[in-house]
Protein backbone atom coordinates (compact mmCIF):
# COMPACT_ATOMS: atom_id res chain seq x y z
CA UNK A 1 0.00 0.00 0.00
CA UNK A 2 2.86 2.40 0.80
CA UNK A 3 4.25 2.08 -2.72
CA UNK A 4 1.18 3.53 -4.44
CA UNK A 5 1.42 7.12 -3.05
CA UNK A 6 5.21 7.05 -3.56
CA UNK A 7 4.78 6.21 -7.26
CA UNK A 8 2.11 8.89 -7.53
CA UNK A 9 4.45 11.46 -6.00
CA UNK A 10 7.29 10.48 -8.35
CA UNK A 11 5.20 10.72 -11.49
CA UNK A 12 3.56 13.93 -10.30
CA UNK A 13 6.93 15.62 -9.83
CA UNK A 14 8.08 14.23 -13.15
CA UNK A 15 4.99 15.60 -14.91
CA UNK A 16 5.71 19.11 -13.65
CA UNK A 17 9.22 18.99 -15.08
CA UNK A 18 7.96 17.41 -18.30
CA UNK A 19 5.55 20.33 -18.75
CA UNK A 20 8.50 22.73 -18.48
CA UNK A 21 10.41 20.71 -21.05
CA UNK A 22 7.43 20.69 -23.40
CA UNK A 23 7.13 24.47 -23.17
CA UNK A 24 10.82 24.84 -23.95
CA UNK A 25 10.63 22.51 -26.94
CA UNK A 26 7.62 24.39 -28.32
CA UNK A 27 9.17 27.78 -27.71
CA UNK A 28 12.18 26.69 -29.78
CA UNK A 29 10.01 24.92 -32.41
CA UNK A 30 11.66 21.56 -31.74
CA UNK A 31 9.86 18.34 -32.68
CA UNK A 32 10.69 15.85 -29.94
CA UNK A 33 10.42 12.07 -30.06
CA UNK A 34 10.81 9.54 -27.25
CA UNK A 35 12.01 6.26 -28.79
CA UNK A 36 11.10 3.18 -26.73
CA UNK A 37 11.55 -0.55 -27.26
CA UNK A 38 12.83 -3.79 -25.81
CA UNK A 39 16.63 -4.18 -25.86
CA UNK A 40 17.95 -4.97 -29.32
CA UNK A 41 14.93 -3.87 -31.36
CA UNK A 42 17.01 -1.37 -33.31
CA UNK A 43 16.58 2.14 -31.86
CA UNK A 44 20.25 3.04 -32.31
CA UNK A 45 20.38 1.51 -35.80
CA UNK A 46 17.32 3.55 -36.79
CA UNK A 47 18.98 6.74 -35.58
CA UNK A 48 22.26 5.90 -37.36
CA UNK A 49 20.39 5.50 -40.65
CA UNK A 50 18.44 8.71 -39.99
CA UNK A 51 21.66 10.65 -39.42
CA UNK A 52 23.13 9.29 -42.64
CA UNK A 53 20.06 10.14 -44.72
CA UNK A 54 18.91 13.42 -43.19
CA UNK A 55 21.94 14.79 -41.37
CA UNK A 56 22.54 17.44 -44.03
CA UNK A 57 18.87 18.48 -44.10
CA UNK A 58 17.90 18.56 -40.43
CA UNK A 59 19.58 19.76 -37.27
CA UNK A 60 19.22 16.75 -34.97
CA UNK A 61 19.83 16.55 -31.25
CA UNK A 62 20.16 13.08 -29.75
CA UNK A 63 19.97 11.94 -26.14
CA UNK A 64 21.06 8.32 -25.71
CA UNK A 65 19.90 6.64 -22.52
CA UNK A 66 21.63 3.50 -21.30
CA UNK A 67 21.81 1.57 -18.05
CA UNK A 68 25.60 1.28 -17.78
CA UNK A 69 27.52 2.40 -20.90
CA UNK A 70 27.85 5.21 -23.42
CA UNK A 71 28.08 2.73 -26.30
CA UNK A 72 24.95 3.94 -28.08
CA UNK A 73 25.97 7.60 -27.80
CA UNK A 74 29.39 6.76 -29.23
CA UNK A 75 27.77 4.93 -32.15
CA UNK A 76 25.62 7.97 -32.92
CA UNK A 77 28.64 10.27 -32.83
CA UNK A 78 30.49 7.96 -35.21
CA UNK A 79 27.42 7.99 -37.48
CA UNK A 80 27.70 11.76 -37.80
CA UNK A 81 25.71 13.05 -34.85
CA UNK A 82 26.90 16.57 -34.03
CA UNK A 83 24.78 17.08 -30.91
CA UNK A 84 24.74 13.82 -28.94
CA UNK A 85 24.56 13.53 -25.18
CA UNK A 86 24.59 10.26 -23.21
CA UNK A 87 22.60 9.62 -20.05
CA UNK A 88 23.83 6.65 -18.01
CA UNK A 89 21.12 5.73 -15.51
CA UNK A 90 23.35 3.46 -13.38
CA UNK A 91 20.71 0.76 -13.19
CA UNK A 92 17.49 2.74 -13.48
CA UNK A 93 15.12 1.18 -16.01
CA UNK A 94 13.95 4.42 -17.64
CA UNK A 95 14.78 8.04 -18.33
CA UNK A 96 12.86 10.72 -16.46
CA UNK A 97 12.28 14.41 -17.00
CA UNK A 98 14.90 15.41 -14.41
CA UNK A 99 17.58 13.56 -16.40
CA UNK A 100 16.55 15.36 -19.60
CA UNK A 101 16.57 18.70 -17.77
CA UNK A 102 20.13 18.01 -16.66
CA UNK A 103 21.56 17.61 -20.18
CA UNK A 104 19.31 20.01 -22.11
CA UNK A 105 21.49 23.11 -21.45
CA UNK A 106 24.25 21.37 -23.42
CA UNK A 107 22.18 21.71 -26.62
CA UNK A 108 21.85 24.79 -28.79
CA UNK A 109 18.06 24.60 -28.78
CA UNK A 110 17.35 27.43 -31.20
CA UNK A 111 19.20 25.49 -33.90
CA UNK A 112 17.46 22.14 -33.50
CA UNK A 113 14.72 20.85 -35.79
CA UNK A 114 14.23 17.56 -33.94
CA UNK A 115 15.30 16.05 -30.64
CA UNK A 116 15.47 12.27 -30.40
CA UNK A 117 15.40 10.77 -26.92
CA UNK A 118 16.55 7.16 -27.07
CA UNK A 119 15.12 5.65 -23.92
CA UNK A 120 16.45 2.68 -21.98
CA UNK A 121 15.53 -0.68 -23.55
CA UNK A 122 12.36 -1.51 -21.62
CA UNK A 123 8.66 -1.62 -22.48
CA UNK A 124 7.39 -1.21 -18.91
CA UNK A 125 8.87 1.67 -16.88
CA UNK A 126 9.31 4.25 -19.69
CA UNK A 127 5.57 4.19 -20.38
CA UNK A 128 4.88 5.96 -17.08
CA UNK A 129 7.35 8.83 -17.46
CA UNK A 130 6.58 11.82 -19.65
CA UNK A 131 9.75 13.47 -20.99
CA UNK A 132 8.02 16.46 -22.54
CA UNK A 133 8.09 14.77 -25.94
CA UNK A 134 5.61 15.42 -28.73
CA UNK A 135 5.24 11.70 -29.38
CA UNK A 136 6.40 8.29 -28.26
CA UNK A 137 7.63 5.96 -31.02
CA UNK A 138 7.69 2.29 -30.08
CA UNK A 139 9.93 -0.12 -31.98
CA UNK A 140 9.34 -3.84 -32.20
CA UNK A 141 11.37 -6.31 -34.24
CA UNK A 142 10.44 -9.52 -35.99
CA UNK A 143 12.80 -11.39 -33.67
CA UNK A 144 10.39 -10.71 -30.80
CA UNK A 145 6.93 -12.04 -30.11
CA UNK A 146 4.07 -10.59 -32.12
CA UNK A 147 2.04 -10.44 -28.90
CA UNK A 148 4.15 -7.57 -27.49
CA UNK A 149 1.31 -5.01 -27.80
CA UNK A 150 -0.93 -7.23 -25.67
CA UNK A 151 1.78 -7.90 -23.09
CA UNK A 152 2.77 -4.23 -22.74
CA UNK A 153 -0.45 -2.34 -23.52
CA UNK A 154 0.44 0.89 -21.70
CA UNK A 155 3.41 1.52 -23.98
CA UNK A 156 1.49 0.88 -27.18
CA UNK A 157 -1.51 2.87 -25.95
CA UNK A 158 0.71 5.91 -25.37
CA UNK A 159 2.70 5.63 -28.61
CA UNK A 160 1.77 7.46 -31.80
CA UNK A 161 3.85 5.29 -34.12
CA UNK A 162 4.90 1.65 -34.10
CA UNK A 163 7.94 0.76 -36.18
CA UNK A 164 8.32 -2.91 -37.06
CA UNK A 165 12.04 -3.46 -37.68
CA UNK A 166 13.98 -6.41 -39.16
CA UNK A 167 11.36 -7.31 -41.76
CA UNK A 168 14.22 -8.86 -43.74
CA UNK A 169 14.10 -11.69 -41.16
CA UNK A 170 10.43 -12.48 -41.66
CA UNK A 171 9.89 -16.19 -42.11
CA UNK A 172 12.73 -17.19 -39.83
CA UNK A 173 10.39 -17.29 -36.84
CA UNK A 174 6.65 -17.49 -36.16
CA UNK A 175 6.34 -13.69 -36.04
CA UNK A 176 3.24 -12.63 -37.98
CA UNK A 177 2.96 -9.09 -39.37
CA UNK A 178 -0.82 -9.09 -39.63
CA UNK A 179 -1.15 -10.42 -36.10
CA UNK A 180 1.13 -7.81 -34.50
CA UNK A 181 -0.66 -4.99 -36.35
CA UNK A 182 -4.03 -6.34 -35.25
CA UNK A 183 -2.84 -6.53 -31.65
CA UNK A 184 -1.44 -2.99 -31.75
CA UNK A 185 -4.66 -1.54 -33.17
CA UNK A 186 -6.64 -3.50 -30.61
CA UNK A 187 -4.79 -1.50 -27.96
CA UNK A 188 -4.56 1.79 -29.87
CA UNK A 189 -6.84 2.23 -32.87
CA UNK A 190 -5.02 5.40 -33.95
CA UNK A 191 -1.46 4.09 -33.90
CA UNK A 192 0.47 4.56 -37.14
CA UNK A 193 2.61 1.67 -38.36
CA UNK A 194 5.76 1.56 -40.48
CA UNK A 195 7.49 -1.66 -41.56
CA UNK A 196 11.21 -1.48 -42.35
CA UNK A 197 14.63 -3.04 -42.11
CA UNK A 198 17.49 -0.93 -40.82
CA UNK A 199 19.95 -3.50 -42.18
CA UNK A 200 18.70 -3.63 -45.78
CA UNK A 201 17.10 -0.15 -45.68
CA UNK A 202 13.83 -1.48 -47.14
CA UNK A 203 11.03 0.76 -45.91
CA UNK A 204 13.37 3.43 -44.51
CA UNK A 205 11.98 6.02 -46.91
CA UNK A 206 8.58 5.69 -45.21
CA UNK A 207 10.18 6.56 -41.88
CA UNK A 208 12.07 9.52 -43.36
CA UNK A 209 8.89 10.84 -44.99
CA UNK A 210 6.90 10.40 -41.77
CA UNK A 211 9.55 12.25 -39.76
CA UNK A 212 10.03 15.17 -42.13
CA UNK A 213 6.26 15.48 -42.55
CA UNK A 214 5.71 15.70 -38.79
CA UNK A 215 8.45 18.32 -38.47
CA UNK A 216 6.81 20.43 -41.18
CA UNK A 217 3.41 20.08 -39.51
CA UNK A 218 4.74 21.06 -36.09
CA UNK A 219 7.15 23.75 -37.23
CA UNK A 220 5.76 25.47 -40.32
CA UNK A 221 8.32 28.28 -40.04
CA UNK A 222 11.09 25.78 -40.74
Q: Please write the tens of the pLDDT for every residue from 96-121.
A: 999 999 999 999 999 999 999 999 99
Give a yes or no: residue 222 inside a domain. no
What pLDDT does 91 receive? 86
Band of pLDDT at residue 10, cut at 50, 70 and 90: low
The CATH number of the domain holding residue 157 is: 3.40.50.300
Give a yes or no: residue 134 inside a domain. yes
Give a yes or no: residue 202 inside a domain. yes
Q: Is the pTM of this model over 0.85?
A: yes
Give a yes or no: residue 79 inside a domain. yes
The three-class DSSP label of residue 186 is: helix
What pLDDT does 217 receive? 87
Band of pLDDT at residue 11, cut at 50, 70 and 90: confident
Give a yes or no: residue 116 inside a domain. yes
At residue 124, does pLDDT exceed 50?
yes
What's the domain count of the chain?
A: 1
Alpha-carbon span 49 to 84, nearest angstrom: 15
Give a yes or no: residue 37 inside a domain. yes
Q: What is the mean pLDDT of the chain?
A: 93
Give a yes or no: residue 181 inside a domain. yes
At residue 221, does pLDDT exceed 50?
no
Which range marks the domain in which residue 118 is found? Answer: 3-217
Amino acid sequence: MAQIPLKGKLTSENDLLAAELRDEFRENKIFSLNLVSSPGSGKTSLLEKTLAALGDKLEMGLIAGDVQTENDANRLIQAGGKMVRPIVTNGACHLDAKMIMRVLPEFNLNRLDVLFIENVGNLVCPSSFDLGEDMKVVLISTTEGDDKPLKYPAMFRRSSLMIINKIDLLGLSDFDLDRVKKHARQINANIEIIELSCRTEVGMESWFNWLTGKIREGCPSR
